[in-house]
A = this chain, B = another copy of it.
Amino acid sequence: MAIDSRFYASLGALTLESAAHLSGAAFSGDPALAITGIAAADTAKAGQLAFIDGDGTGQASLSAELDVVVVSEGARARLPDGVSAIVSSLPRYTHSLIASSLFRLRETGPSSGGSISSSAAVHPSAIISPGAVIGPGAAIGEGTTVRPNAVIGPGVQIGRHCVIGANASVHCALLGDHVTLLAGARIGEAGFGVMPGPQGLEDAPHFGRVILQDRVTVGANACIDRGVFADTVIGERTKIDNLCQIAHNVVLGRSVIVAAFGGISGSVRVGDGSMLGGRVGIADHVTVGEGVSLAASAGLFRDVASGETWGGTPAKPIRQWMREVAWLNKQTAAKKRD
């Protein structure tokens, strides 16, 4: 998808040659090919630079429109004909270098600009409390309350009749109507993407957004990170308790319930109406169906089909877990009498 210019300023296109030059990398293809955007390799459109990690065997699929990619020498042979390549031993790192020459995260800027940016669009009926900061280009809808010392970042769009709690912060995000963020909620921070660079670990930059659909509620001090190139999406009426962590690129369906300390790793999908008990953790890229129940403290490492109930760590169907708990108890309680 295209990078949202409300959150990331475009610094202009690069040619394939100039992009390769930026990172000191070799390339193959038309030197004048225009790189206008960035994307993941499975969704890239023409002109959007993607990357393929490692030897490429972990790359699920490539977009049919992909025409330029950062790739290792070893994975280059896997590219379809006609795809231009920038060759790097650290493809993701090289991609991030080029990406930061194409786009720059917008900042609220120095305090001389005042607490409510002159370019923000605040509905006359909205209440902006003392100490709240509204960044440039942000929009606050009818009847919405922004409580004291909350921060609304540049370009953030907030719908009608929302409540943004005290000291909460929202960046790179679109909120529907009747969305409630309790105090200290953190929406739209960069996700946790650690990658190797030439000198050691580096943070992978994030260029996506957070979408909170209508009537979503996010608890106090809970965190929802923005996507890497795509969006983190929380479906209508989904309710998230205090101190939960929703990582980049997660998609939660409608009316999902996530109790306190719920931790949902990157790119997880959870279907409509599923219920996660307290302190449930889900490993990255796991898919959970609709109407699934996960018992409190479950640590889930595998996909779960719709309608099932799982528990334990590693999580398994709840009856199996309960059998194990009961059997183990019986074996050792009996041993005591031996």
Task: Give chain B residues whose Cβ lies under 8 Å from the Cβ of A110.
Answer: 127-129
Q: A135-B148, A189-B220 are in contact. List 20 more A-B contacts (CB 8 A).
A: A107-B147, A108-B129, A108-B148, A110-B128, A111-B115, A111-B116, A148-B151, A151-B167, A186-B221, A186-B242, A192-B242, A192-B260, A200-B237, A200-B254, A201-B215, A220-B223, A313-B313, A314-B325, A323-B332, A323-B336
Instruction: Give the residue name and chain of the B residue nearest to A256 (CB).
Output: B201
Would you list which residues of chain A between 222 and 265 have a CB under 8 Å from chain B?
223, 225, 236-239, 241-243, 245, 247, 254-255, 257, 259-261, 263, 265
Find the residue from A107, A135, A192, A328 having the highest chain B CB count within 10 A: A192
Interface size on A, residues (CB 8 A): 90
Task: Give chain B residues whose Cβ lies under 8 Å from the Cβ of A215.
Answer: 200-201
Are the C-beta atoms of B296 and A296 separated by less than 8 Å? no
Q: Give 1 or 0 for each of A171-187: 1 = CB within 8 Å of chain B CB.
A: 10000000010111010
Are the C-beta atoms of A111 and B133 separated by less than 8 Å? no
Are the C-beta atoms of A261 and B278 separated by less than 8 Å? no
- Residue A281 at the chain B interface, CB threshold 8 Å: yes
Are the C-beta atoms of A221 and B260 separated by less than 8 Å? no
Task: Give chain B residues whose Cβ lies under 8 Å from the Cβ of A239.
Answer: 192, 194, 201, 203
- Give complex CA distance A13, B260 in Å: 36
Find the residue from A127, A180, A283, A297 having the highest chain B CB count within 10 A: A297
Q: A192-B260, A255-B201 are in contact. Are A115 and B130 (CB under 8 A)?
A: yes
Q: A189-B182, A241-B192 are in contact. Are A148 and B133 (CB under 8 A)?
A: yes
Q: A166-B151, A299-B296 are in contact. Are A133 and B133 (CB under 8 A)?
A: no
Task: Give chain B residues whose Cβ lies under 8 Å from the Cβ of A328.
Answer: 324, 327-328
Nearest-Cβ distance from residue A124 to partner chain B, whole angstroms: 11
Are the C-beta atoms of A261 and B263 separated by less than 8 Å? yes
